[in-house]
Amino acid sequence: MAIEFTKYHGLGNDFILIDNRSSSLPVVTPEQAIKLCDRHFGIGADGVIFALPGENGTDYTMRIFNSDGSEPEMCGNGIRCLAGFLADLERLGTGDWGLGTGEESSQSSITYRIHTLAGVMIPQILPNGQVKVDMGLPRLLAGEIPTTLTPAEEKVISQPLEVAGQTWDVTCVSMGNPHCITFVEDVAAIELETIGPKFEHHPVFPQRINTEFIQVVSRDYLKMRVWERGAGITLACGTGACASLVAGVLTGKCDRTATVELPGGPLQIEWSEIDQRVYMTGPAEKVFTGKL
3-class state of residue 62 by DSSP? strand
Phi, psi (deg, nearest 5) at residue 212: -115, 130
Query: Does 142-276 match 4-136+283-291 at the fold level?
Result: yes
Are the C-beta atoms of 165 and 159 separated by less than 8 Å?
no
Give the class (CATH, top level) of 142-276: alpha beta
Residue 97 or residue 48, greater confidence? 48
| Average pLDDT over every residue of 190-211 | 98
Q: Is the pLDDT of residue 17 over 80?
A: yes
In angstroms, the CA 197 to CA 122 distance is: 31
> pLDDT at position 109, please?
87
Strand ranges for the chain from DSSP E: 4-10, 13-19, 47-53, 60-66, 110-111, 114-116, 119-125, 131-136, 159-163, 166-174, 178-183, 210-218, 221-228, 232-233, 257-262, 265-271, 278-282, 285-291
DSSP conformation class of 82: H
In angstroms, the CA 273 to CA 52 distance is: 33
Helix/strand number for the chain, H first, E second: 5, 18
Q: Is the pLDDT of residue 104 over 90?
A: no
> pLDDT at position 170, please?
98
Catalytic residues: 75, 237
pTM: 0.91
How many residues can be counted in the chain? 292
Domain boundaries, the chain: 4-136+283-291, 142-276
Strand ranges for 54-146 from DSSP E: 60-66, 110-111, 114-116, 119-125, 131-136
CATH 3.10.310.10 fits 4-136+283-291, yes or no: yes
In angstroms, the CA 157 to CA 2 distance is: 49
Q: Cis peptide before 266, with omega less than 30 degrees from 0?
A: no
Question: 84-98, 176-190, 243-257: lowest mean pLDDT where?
Answer: 84-98
| pLDDT tens by residue, 52-99 | 999 999 999 999 999 999 999 999 999 999 999 999 999 754 444 444
